[in-house]
A and B are shown apart, each in its own frame.
Chain A
């Protein structure tokens, strides 16, 4: 009698236990899967942002390196700015050339972006003294480009210390998206 009762009870509950187990395991699995997808998505976005920021940093560092350490190509490009291939602003290592800066700040913004290979970004260039005031080159402010706005996605500013007429000045290059 007991055996019959147990068998009938077992066969009655068997399906419930299996579905409960399946339900619990499926729920846990789905929760973990959703969490993993969300974490993955979050990380991908952060990684993309990091890659963009690194690209921006690398470009800004390379551009300032070329500006303060080379004369440009051709060497005396300031005599014919239309034929410039690479812009350099110094006459000697870290010694600014006023003629080159004068030509540089007179150039078209889009042309400079093309030469720097930063068409996807915007930039702002300026030369300031140790008090933060813009220096003047031939009665013009030594600045070129557009300042970043509060809504800019990424902004990176590189400052390089250079010599101008025997005094130390700061060449500042801001690259932003």
Chain B
């Protein structure tokens, strides 16, 4: 035992071990930083493009419905049918159309959705309304 102890306490002793431990820790740290930064960058960009697509989809649908006069009826069921005809099946939606004398609203609240938008709508009866909407994947 004494002899073994003596070996490890030689002038050049366990210097190599310290170097290998240092290299192991350094490479381990580099790998951790590399892996985590890669996943962080990946995640952020995926979310951005997804949100942009959802934003465009919502904006398109409600602009087109307004242009085609499908919001003029101020009837909840009629507006819901128009939206469901063109909205991709893998998306869900909510809306709230606030006019001077009437509020038309879907079952779900707009405030609970992630991607929201709003636009001003003028109906055939010259009612000035604000359409607030939300779109999200099912």
Contacts and interface: CB of A to CB of B under 8 A. Distances in A.
B34 A29 contact: no
A14 B42 CA distance: 52
A46 B38 contact: yes
A160 B56 contact: yes
Given A28-B23, A39-B31, A61-B52, A17 B64 contact: no
Q: 3 closest pairs, A vs B, by CB?
A: A25-B20, A21-B16, A161-B60
B27 A33 contact: yes
Contact of A10 (B7, B23, B38): B7
Given A25-B23, A28-B24, A161-B64, A6 B86 contact: no
Interface in A91-111: 92-95
B109 interface: no
Contacts of B23: 25, 28-29, 32
A121 B52 CA distance: 22
B68 interface: yes
Interface string A24-41: 110011001101100110
B45 A54 contact: yes
Nearest to A167: B68
Contact of B60 (A24, A25, A162): A162
A54 B42 CA distance: 11
A83 interface: no
Nearest to A68: B60
A24 B16 CA distance: 9
5 contacts: A6-B6, A24-B20, A29-B20, A168-B64, A168-B65
B6 A43 contact: no
B52 to A, nearest CB: 7
A24 B14 CA distance: 12
B27 A36 contact: yes
Given A18-B12, A163-B64, A32 B27 contact: yes
Contacts of B27: 32-33, 35-36
B60 A160 contact: yes
Interface string B22-50: 01100110110011001000100100010
Nearest to B18: A25
B19 A168 contact: no
Given A6-B3, A57-B49, A14 B10 contact: yes
A14 B6 CA distance: 10
A130 B35 CA distance: 43
Contacts of B52: 61
